[in-house]
């Protein structure tokens, strides 16, 4: 099967590809958002702990 027939998805290209595209976008953004929030929290905590140690010393 050639690439061009594959991409046509038997005539259902306009349904199959958006379905996968939306799924990838939604789950990708969800994952990115979650990871960014986690990293940000980690960094803020690290900064806080560092300044605290500084104050204690």
Partner 1 sequence: MHRFANPARFMRMSQIVLPWLTVVTTLLLVAGLVLSFVAPPDYQQGESVRIMFVHVPAAWMAMCAYTSLAAASAAALIWRHPLAEIAAEETAPLGAVFTGLCLVTGSLWGQPMWGTWWAWDARMTSVLVLFFLYLGYMALLNAFDDPTRGRRAAAILALVGFVNVPIIKFSVDWWNTLHQPASVLRVGGPTIDPSILLPLLIMAVAFTLLFATLLVVRMRAALIERKIRVLDAAAGGALG
Residue ranges binding partner 1 (CB under 8 A): 9-12, 15-16, 18-20, 22-23, 26-27, 30-31, 34-35, 37-38, 40-42, 44-45, 48, 52
Largest CA distance in the chain: 70
Q: Are 13 and 7 in contact (CB under 8 A)?
A: yes
Shortest distance in whole angstroms from residue 57 CB to partner 1: 16
- Alpha carbons 54 and 31: distance in angstroms, whole number: 35
With respect to partner 1, which residue has the nearer C-beta, 15 or 57? 15
With respect to partner 1, which residue has the nearer C-beta, 2 or 19? 19
């Amino acid at each position: 099967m050639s690439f061009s027939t594959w991409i046509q998805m038997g005539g259902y290209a306009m349904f199959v590809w958006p379905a996968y595209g939306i799924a990838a976008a939604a789950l990708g953004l969800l994952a990115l958002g979650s990871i960014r929030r986690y990293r940000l929290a980690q960094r803020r905590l690290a900064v806080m702990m560092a300044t605290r140690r500084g104050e204690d010393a």
